[in-house]
Amino acid sequence: MIRKLSNACCLAASITVLGLATVPRPAAAQRLEQVEKPTEPLVLADRGSFFVDGRSVKQSPAELSSIFGRPLANDGHVTVDQMYVEYMVPAQRAGVPVVMLHGGTLTGKGFDTTPDGRMGWYEYFVRHGHPTYIADQISRGRSGVDIATYNDVRLGRKPVSALPNAFRESDEYNWKLFRMGPANGVTFPGSQFPAGAGAELSKQGVADFNPMLPSPNPNARAMADLARQTGGAILMGHSEAGGIPIDAALTDPSGVRGIIEVEPGACDADKRTHAQIATLAHIPTLMVFGDHLDAPTGTALDWTKVYADCNRLIGRINAVGGKASMLHPADLGIRGNTHLLMMDRNSLQIADLILAWIDRNVPSSATPQNPDQRASVARQPAQR
C-alpha cells in the first residue's frame, strides 16, 4: 500500500524533477515530503542490534590504559574487529533482507533520518517489506576501533611514526568532492542536495580510523558473514564502502543474493581475474551514480573515470552471462543527484528505482528466508 502510494507520488515527482532546474527548489521538496513521512505507523515484527565477527585479543596494561589514567595492574582481553549491526524486520514482510554499509567518515546514521529531517533509506526499505540491517564500519561508530598502538605511542613504547593515519573530511572538501556545487554552500542549479542542511550533514562526520584496520579489511568478511546469517541478503555499500559488497562476495558468496554499489570509489574492472568475474556473474549487481559526474572535485578523484570503470566491470560481468546494470538517474531525466543519493531531496525517488530493480532481479520468492537463523545472530543459543 505504501509502495503503491509512493510510486504514484514519485512518478509525479519525477516529472516535476525534470523541470527542476527552472523551478524553485522548495516546491519539489514539499511534494516529495508527502511521500517521505507516511502517516501510517511503522509496524515491526522485530528490531534490535547485535555484532558480527570480532576477535578476542590480549593487550598489555599500557595498551588498554585505564579508566582513571593510572596504568592497570594486569593485561587482559578486549574484542577487536567486531561489526555493530542494527536491524528492523517489518511485520508485513515482502522482500529479501538488505544490508547497508556507509561511506568514509560517516556511520550507519547516514542511512537513517536525512540531514534535513526526512525519512532515510533504512526505514523506507523496511516500510517496503525488506528486513533491513544497518552496520557501522569496523573501526568506527559503535563497532569501535583498536587503540593499542595509540596508547603504545602515548606511553613511549612505540615511535610517533607508528601512529596510523586517521582523518576527517572538512565541509568544504566534501562539498566539492560530493558534487553539491562549485563552492561550499553553493549548489548547482537543480541540485538535489538540501542546500541548507550542510551544518546537519557536518554533524554526521566522525574520525575515520580505517587506516588502522588489518589487511584484508575485515569489513568484507563481516558483511559476507552477516549476509549468511540473515539467510541471504542484498549487500549495499556506499562510497568508501562501495566496493565492499563485491569484496564480501569474493570472500564468501554463499549468502550474497545481490550487490548494490552506490558511487564506489573504484570498481577495479581491469584488475579482476576471470575467476572473480565468474563468481560475480552469479549475483545480480547494480551500480548507482548521481549527476554532475564531470564537476571538478578539488581532489585527484575524477568521477567520470570511476563511472567508466564501473561500466567496464558491468560489461565484463555480463559478457560471461551475469546480470549487472547501471542506474544513472540522470539518463532517466532525473537530474541533480549528488554523491549522497540517500540524503538528496529526491532520496526516496532513487530508493524506488533501487526497490524496483530488487523486485525484478532478486524476487523474494527466489530467496528462501530463515527467520530462525537470522534471529540466532542476535541471541546466544547457549543462554536459552
**Which residues have C-beta within 8 Å of that of residue 332, sequence separation ≥ 6?**
14, 353
Of 193 and 357, nearer to its own copies (C-beta) is 193
Of 32, 28, 27, 41, which is closest to residue 6 (Cα–Cα)?
32
Query: In angstroms, what is the minimal distance from the CB of 350 to its own copies?
Result: 18
In whole angstroms, give the CA distance from residue 237 to residue 258: 11
Of 18 and 153, nearer to its own copies (C-beta) is 153
Of 205 and 253, nearer to its own copies (C-beta) is 205
Query: In angstroms, what is the minimal distance from the CB of 66 to its own copies?
Result: 6
Residue type at 187? Answer: T
Of 111 and 188, nearer to its own copies (C-beta) is 111
In whole angstroms, give the CA distance from residue 380 to residue 254: 23
> Are 361 and 317 in contact, with CB atoms under 8 Å apart?
no
Of 136 and 284, nearer to its own copies (C-beta) is 136
User: CA 329 → CA 28, 106, 123, 332, distances in Å?
Assistant: 17, 24, 22, 5
Of 306 and 327, nearer to its own copies (C-beta) is 306
Query: In angstroms, what is the minimal distance from the CB of 113 to its own copies?
Result: 4
Query: In angstroms, what is the minimal distance from the CB of 124 to its own copies?
Result: 11
Query: In angstroms, what is the minimal distance from the CB of 67 to its own copies?
Result: 6
Of 134, 132, 124, which is closest to residue 40 (Cα–Cα)?
124
Query: In angstroms, what is the minimal distance from the CB of 361 to its own copies?
Result: 29
* Helix, coil or strand: residue 166: coil
Specify the residue for cell string 532478486: 362
Task: Give start and end residues of each alpha helix (H) in 163-205.
Answer: 171-177, 198-203
| Interior/surface letters 79-88, b for 16+ CB within 10 angstroms, e for the rest | ebbbbbbbbb
